[in-house]
Amino acid sequence: MNYSADIQKLPRNFLPADFGIKDWDSLAPYFTDLEKRDINSVEALEQWLKDASELEAVISEDACWRQIKMTCDTESKELEEAFTFFMMQIQPQIQPWSDRLNKKLLANPFLKELDQEKYYTYLRNVKKNIDLFREENIPLQAELNVLQQQFGVISGKMTVEVGGQEYTLQQAVKFLEDEDRSVREEVYHKINKRRLEDKDELNKLFTSLIQKRHQVALNAGYENYRDYRFKELGRFDYKKEDCFRFHEAVKLHVMPLVNQLYEAKQKKLGLDTLKPWDTEAEPAGIQPLRPFKTSDELTEKSIACFEKMRPFFGDCIRRMKAMGHLDLESRKGKAPGGYNCPLAESGAPFIFMNAAGTLDDVTTMVHEGGHAIHSFLSHELELTGFKDYPTEIAEVASMAMELFSMNHWEVFFEREEELKRAKEQQLERVIIIFPWIATIDKFQHWIYENP
Mean pLDDT of 363-388: 95
State the average pLDDT for the chain.
Answer: 96
Give the pLDDT of residue 6: 87
Q: Where residue 284 falls among pLDDT bands split at 50, 70, 90?
A: confident
Q: What pLDDT is stored for residue 2 in this prediction?
A: 66
pLDDT digits (tens, 9 = 90+) for 188-197: 999 999 999 9
Percent residues over pLDDT 90 in the chain:
96
Q: How confident is the model at residue 430 (pLDDT cuts 50, 70, 90)?
A: very high
Nearest-10 crossing angle of helices 225-232, 199-219: 70
**pLDDT at residue 1, rounded to an integer:** 59
The residue length of the chain stands at 451
Handedness of CA 88, 90, 92, 93 (dihedral sign): positive
Torsion on CA atoms 18, 24, 29, 32, rounded to nearest 10: 140
**pLDDT per position as a tens digit, 81-107:** 999 999 999 999 999 999 999 999 999
What's the number of CA atoms in the CB half-sphere (13 Å) around residue 134? 16
pLDDT of residue 4: 78
pLDDT tens for 37-54 read 999 999 999 999 999 999
The average pLDDT across 13-27 equals 96
Q: What is the pLDDT of residues 165-180, one digit of tens each?
A: 999 999 999 999 999 9
Please tell me the predicted confidence (pLDDT) of residue 389: 86
Angle subtended by helix axes 416-449 and 391-405, to nearest 10: 160
Distance CA(179)–CA(433), nearest Å, equals 23
Write down the number of H helices and E strands in the chain: 18, 5
Q: Stretch 360-364: mean pLDDT, rounded?
A: 96
- Split at pLDDT 50, 70, 90, the class of 306 is very high
CA–CA dist 213, 390 (Å, integer): 20
Q: Give the model confidence (pLDDT) of 106-129 as tens digits.
A: 999 999 999 999 999 999 999 999
pLDDT tops 70 at residue 372: yes
What mean pLDDT do residues 290-296 have? 96
pLDDT tens-digit readout, 183-225: 999 999 999 999 999 999 999 999 999 999 999 999 999 999 9
**Residue 402 pLDDT > 80, yes or no?**
yes
Considering the entire predicted model, what is its pTM?
Answer: 0.94
Q: Is the pLDDT of residue 257 over 70?
A: yes
Q: What is the mean predicted confidence (pLDDT) over 413-434?
A: 96
Query: What residue ranges in 311-416 does DSSP mark as E strands?
Result: 326-329, 339-341, 350-355
Residues 162 and 186: their CA atoms lie apart, in Å, by 9
Considering only residues 1 and 24, tell me which one the structure prediction assigns the higher pLDDT.
24
